[in-house]
């Protein structure tokens, strides 16, 4: 894991004059999808790269050790062996970036990955996921327990009520406490942008989260009505770039929820490349939170290799 973001002192002047114009951001979002398209073998390469960014996720009430085990195995072998051989990529160690589960299932995930002989990290959601409306004491305790169980990445949710009432200082303090509770674990701060009300709030919340010491900022929990959309992502990526210009720290970005097709994932890669540049296209700085995306990417790769469209049962389940 790369060095942690130590964060900075709270400086409200970084967010006091910011304005975000929604229709203009919408127009830019449409443009990105239209103007950068990749085809043929470059598309296959981009798709394989996208696979290495996926945080393979299962966050349902009916998770048990059996489907966790299946998920971890899929994380180790995301694409069928013979397809990778056909592309001559079977020895490059292509796995997903992480596995993301609820805190109660962290033990199962760690065990399954150890059995499979894979050292990808286990990420756990915490702090009252997904709504975050529980007492601060229990939220911090959740983080500590998850870290004890073996999670090396923690996805926390911020307190939206603090954003909507403009209590930026209190938000900064809370995230600082999450940072301390994580210890050596990687902190991803979920902003739940669908519930923040306006793009200006999204920018301000991103800045506060980065100032308080997050290693990643994440768009959404995946459980809101509106999850990861391009306009919101553009605003967050601009915030990451501004933070980098001010402090020199590179913070990672993770969109989650609503990314289902391979075409979408290519658009996301283009977006990060356009707004931040190639240095951010690494698993240390970019993740995609998805579950069904992997099957769609596998089908696209199958089509590229064989020229035929696969049925879902042709490819191993996750």
Partner 1 sequence: MRTGVIGLILPPTFSFLEMMWRICPALAVGCTVVALVPPASPTPLLLAQLSGELGPFPGILNVISGPVSLVPVLASQPGIQKVAFCGALEEGRALRRSLAGECAELGLALGTESLLLLTDTADIDSAVEGVVDAAWSDRGPGGLRLLIQESVWDEAMRRLQERMGRLRSGRGLDGAVDMGARGAAACDLVQRFVREAQSQGAQVFQAGDVPSERPFYPPTLVSNLPPASPCAQVEVPWPVVVASPFRTAKEALLVANGTPRGGSASVWSERLGQALELGYGLQVGTVWINAHGLRDPSVPTGGCKESGCSWHGGPDGLYEYLRPSGTPARLSCLSKNLNYDTFGLAVPSTLPAGPEIGPSPAPPYGLFVGGRFQAPGAQSSRPIQDSSGNLHGYMAEGGAKDIRGAVEAAHQAFPGWAGQSPGARASLLWALAAALERRKSTLASRLERQGVELKAAEAEVELSARRLRAWGARAQAQGHTLQVAGLRGPVLRLREPLGVLAVVCPDEWPLLAFVSLLAPALAYGNTVVMVPSAACPLLALEVCQDMATLFPAGLANVVTGDQDHLTRCLALHQDVQAMWYFGSAQGSQFVEWASAGNLKPVWASRGCLRAWDQEAEGAGPELGLRAARTKALWLPMGD
Task: For residue 260, count other CB atoms closer than 10 A to its CB.
Answer: 14
Q: Is 45 one of the binding residues for partner 1 (CB under 8 A)? A: no
Shortest Cβ distance from residue 33 to partner 1 (Å)? 12
Q: Is 26 one of the binding residues for partner 1 (CB under 8 A)? A: yes
Shortest Cβ distance from residue 315 to partner 1 (Å)? 29
Q: Is 21 one of the binding residues for partner 1 (CB under 8 A)? A: yes
Shortest Cβ distance from residue 268 to partner 1 (Å)? 15
How many residues make contact with partner 1 (CB under 8 A)?
21
Q: Is 119 one of the binding residues for partner 1 (CB under 8 A)? A: no
Q: Which of 218, 223, 250, 273 is catalytic?
A: 218
Shortest Cβ distance from residue 243 to partner 1 (Å)? 14
C-beta separation of 217 from 253 below 8 A: yes
Identified binder of partner 1 from the candidate list 6, 13, 35, 93, rule CB under 8 A: 35
Q: Is 244 one of the binding residues for partner 1 (CB under 8 A)? A: no
- The DSSP annotation for 130-174 comes to TT--S-HHHHHHHHHHHHHHT-SEEEEE--HHHHHTT-HHHHHHH
Secondary structure E strands in the chain: 54-57, 98-101, 122-126, 153-157, 186-190, 216-218, 252-254, 288-290
Shortest Cβ distance from residue 24 to partner 1 (Å)? 3
C-beta separation of 244 from 8 below 8 A: no
C-beta separation of 193 from 202 below 8 A: yes
Q: Is 308 one of the binding residues for partner 1 (CB under 8 A)? A: no
C-beta separation of 94 from 48 below 8 A: yes
Identified binder of partner 1 from the candidate list 28, 70, 223, 282, rule CB under 8 A: 28
Length of the chain: 318
Which of residues 27 and 114 has its CB atom nearest to partner 1 in the complex? 27
Binding map of partner 1 across residues 270-299, x = CB under 8 A, - = no contact: ----x-------------------------
Q: Classify residue 222 by its DSSP letter.
A: S
Sheet hosting strand 252-254, strand order edge to edge: 252-254, 216-218, 186-190, 153-157, 122-126, 98-101, 54-57, 288-290
Binding map of partner 1 across residues 205-224, x = CB under 8 A, - = no contact: --------------------
Residue 39 among the catalytic residues: no
Q: List contacts with partner 1 (CB under 8 A).
A: 19-28, 31, 35-39, 198-199, 238, 245, 274
Active site residues: 218, 254
């Amino acid at each position: 894991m790369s060095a942690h973001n130590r964060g900075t002192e709270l400086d409200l002047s970084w967010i006091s004059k910011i304005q975000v114009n929604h229709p203009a951001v919408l127009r830019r979002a449409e443009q990105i999808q239209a103007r950068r398209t990749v085809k043929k073998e470059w598309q296959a390469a981009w798709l394989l790269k996208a696979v290495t960014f996926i945080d393979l996720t299962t966050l349902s009430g009916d998770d048990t050790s059996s489907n966790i085990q299946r998920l971890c195995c899929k994380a180790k072998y995301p694409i069928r062996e013979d397809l990778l051989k056909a592309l001559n990529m079977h020895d490059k160690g292509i796995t997903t970036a992480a596995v993301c589960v609820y805190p109660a299932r962290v033990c199962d995930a760690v065990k399954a990955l150890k059995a499979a002989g894979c050292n990808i990290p286990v990420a756990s959601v915490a702090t009252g996921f997904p709504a975050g409306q529980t007492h601060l004491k229990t939220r911090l305790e959740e983080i500590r327990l998850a870290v004890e169980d073996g999670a090396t990445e923690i996805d926390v949710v911020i307190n939206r009520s603090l954003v909507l009432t403009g209590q930026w200082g209190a938000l900064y303090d809370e995230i600082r406490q999450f940072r301390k509770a994580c210890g050596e674990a990687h902190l991803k701060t979920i902003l739940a942008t669908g519930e923040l009300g306006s793009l200006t709030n999204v920018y301000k919340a991103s800045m506060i989260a980065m100032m308080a010491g997050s290693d990643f900022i994440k768009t959404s929990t995946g459980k809101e009505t509106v999850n990861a959309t391009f306009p919101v992502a553009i605003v967050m990526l601009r915030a990451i770039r501004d933070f980098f210009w001010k402090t020199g720290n590179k913070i990672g970005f993770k969109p989650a929820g609503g990314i289902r097709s391979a075409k979408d994932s290519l658009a996301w890669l283009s977006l990060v490349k356009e707004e931040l540049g190639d240095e951010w296209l690494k698993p240390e700085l970019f993740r995609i939170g998805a579950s069904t995306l992997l099957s769609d990417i596998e089908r696209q790769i199958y089509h590229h290799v064989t020229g035929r469209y696969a049925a879902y049962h042709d490819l191993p389940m996750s």
